[in-house]
């Protein structure tokens, strides 16, 4: 008998059909795009941001728009930014892709055949030339609109990565985008809240106040239950009551919920129903598998940041007496550390309450709270 394929994907963006809920966010993003508005989509890492973008892109194409998605993760130079833009336009549908290709060819450095037929640039690439190329690539929605009359929705994923390139590149982006009128709409997506705030929330930055902010909240338990239950059932299994501790631990975190469901599914035989034993074994496997990554995250934090995270993980007030006494944390130190954790995306505020983002890191930390002061990395 062929071995069944585990239906729970947790290590990459999922297809449109596997995106849990996000109906409201998808519709809102599409309506704003149709109206020509710019949007800032902020979400913690592994929160389904890229999957949501692709769903919106699919809906935008059905609505008659072009859709371009550009991932800036890891870019280090203007040349790499230009390459990513070209790659994004290569994924357009055939007709607009041909138009984009024709324009892109005019922007590339001229080449000639050197020794042994090797293609070489006939003139050296200068910063000025790269700047002109970037400007031309950013103007591509205008060319598409002039030729087809169709708006282009451009999604810049991990937009905050531009800050690693040079301090003025967002000014170049803003100078081209502001002239595009009906030709384009933009979604600026990012997973580093501090850097996204720096780009869009600082008065001195070109994009200050230029995009409507839409955050991604945790998923609701009923949506997670429906998704997990349907996939268990479709593969001849039942999730049963084991879904309850899964929901409690996942706390609405999309990727963590799928990771836990993936391992729980592995424990249940075809025709069986998940129980407490299956859940405990699945959780042990998850924590063992993720131990190195969780340990690395913990070790990357400063001591005061660890103290604040630990307080939040066990439900103690950051500025409370217990935190000051047991974690050796002053009010000023706690405030600074909390800001650093929020900047890096380890905690976020919802309904006026600060909470850790990663429920697995919370579990990993609290598992070591039997003896107060024990270092969980040991």
Do 323 and 354 belong together in one domain?
yes
User: Is residue 170 situated within a structural domain?
Assistant: yes
- Within this chain, do residues 168 and 198 fall inside the same structural domain, yes or no? yes
Range of the domain at 336: 300-366
Give the model's pLDDT for residue 345.
94
Instruction: For 140-154, write each residue's pLDDT tens digit.
Output: 999 999 999 999 999
Residues 264 and 173 in one domain: no
Query: How far is Cα 309 from Cα 318, in angstroms, rounded to an integer?
Result: 9
Q: What is the DSSP string of 156-217?
A: EETGGGGGGT-TTHHHHHHHHHTT-GGGEEEEEEES-HHHHHHHHH-TTSTTTT-SEEEEPP
**Quick one: 371 exposed, middle or buried, by C-beta within 10 A (0-12, 13-18, 19+)?**
exposed
Which DSSP symbol is given to 330?
Answer: -
Is the residue at 184 inside a domain? yes
In this prediction, residue 113 carries a pLDDT of 55
**Beta partners for residue 186, in sequence order:** 38, 154
Answer yes or no: is 85 within a domain: yes
**Contact criterion met (CB below 8 Å) for 54 and 88:** no
User: What is the pTM for the complete model shown?
Assistant: 0.88
Does 373 map to a domain?
A: no
288 shares its domain with 315? no
> Does residue 172 belong to any structural domain of this protein?
yes
Residue 336: CATH number of its domain: 1.10.10
> Within this chain, do residues 335 and 279 fall inside the same structural domain, yes or no?
no
Question: In whole angstroms, what is the distance from residue 273 CA to residue 251 CA?
Answer: 23
Left (φ > 0), alpha (ψ -120 to 50) or beta: where does 296 sit?
A: alpha
Domain count, the chain: 3
The set of residues, in sequence order, having a beta carbon less than 8 Å from that of 33 and lying 6+ positions away, is 39, 56, 60, 65, 151, 153, 185, 187
DSSP H helix total and E strand total for the chain: 16, 9
Model pLDDT, residue 66:
97
Measured distance CA(342)–CA(340) in Å, rounded: 5
Residues 183 and 255 in one domain: no
Domain assignment of residue 74, yes or no: yes
What string of pLDDT tens digits covers the 378 residues of the chain? Answer: 347 899 999 999 888 888 999 999 999 999 999 999 999 998 898 899 999 999 999 999 999 999 999 999 999 999 999 999 999 999 998 899 999 999 999 998 665 555 555 555 544 457 788 889 999 999 999 999 999 999 999 999 999 999 999 888 999 999 999 989 999 999 999 999 888 999 999 999 999 989 999 989 999 999 999 999 999 999 999 999 999 999 999 999 999 999 999 999 999 999 999 999 999 999 999 999 999 999 999 999 999 999 999 999 999 999 999 888 888 899 999 999 999 999 999 999 988 999 999 999 999 999 875 444 455 554
Last residue of a domain, one of 200, 215, 230: 215
Are 110 and 252 contained in the same domain? Answer: no
């Amino acid at each position: 008998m062929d071995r069944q394929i585990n239906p729970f994907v947790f290590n990459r963006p999922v297809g449109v059909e596997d995106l849990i809920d996000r109906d409201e966010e998808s519709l809102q993003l599409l309506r704003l795009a149709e109206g020509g508005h710019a949007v800032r989509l902020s979400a913690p890492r592994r929160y389904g941001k890229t999957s949501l973008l692709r769903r919106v892109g699919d809906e935008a194409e059905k609505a008659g728009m072009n859709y371009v998605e550009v991932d800036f993760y890891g870019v280090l130079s203007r040349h790499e930014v230009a390459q990513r833009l070209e790659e994004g336009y290569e994924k357009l549908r055939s007709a607009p892709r041909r138009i984009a290709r024709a324009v892109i060819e005019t922007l590339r450095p001229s080449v000639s055949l050197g020794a042994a037929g090797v293609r070489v640039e006939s003139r050296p690439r200068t910063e000025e030339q790269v700047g002109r190329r970037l400007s031309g690539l950013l103007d591509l929605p205008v060319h598409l609109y002039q030729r087809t009359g169709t708006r282009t929705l451009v999604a810049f994923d991990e937009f905050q990565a531009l800050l690693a390139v040079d301090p003025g590149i967002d000014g170049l982006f803003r100078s081209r985008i502001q002239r595009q009128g009906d030709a384009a709409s933009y979604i600026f997506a990012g997973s580093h809240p501090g850097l996204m705030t720096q780009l869009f929330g600082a008065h001195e930055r070109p994009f200050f106040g230029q995009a409507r902010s839409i955050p991604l909240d945790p998923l609701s338990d009923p949506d997670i239950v429906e998704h997990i239950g349907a996939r268990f059932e479709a593969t001849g299994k039942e999730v049963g009551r084991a879904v309850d501790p899964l929901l409690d631990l996942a706390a609405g975190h999309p990727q963590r919920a799928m990771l836990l469901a993936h391992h729980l599914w592995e424990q249940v035989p075809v025709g069986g129903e998940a129980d407490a034993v299956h859940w405990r074994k699945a959780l042990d496997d998850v924590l063992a598998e993720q131990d190195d990554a969780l340990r690395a995250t913990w070790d990357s934090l400063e001591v005061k940041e660890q103290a604040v995270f630990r307080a939040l993980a066990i439900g103690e007030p950051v500025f409370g007496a217990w935190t000051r006494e047991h974690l050796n944390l002053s009010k000023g130190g706690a405030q600074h550390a909390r800001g650093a954790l929020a900047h890096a995306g380890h905690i976020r505020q919802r309904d006026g309450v600060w909470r850790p983002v990663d429920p697995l890191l919370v579990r990993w930390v609290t598992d070591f709270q039997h003896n107060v002061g024990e270092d969980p990395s040991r």
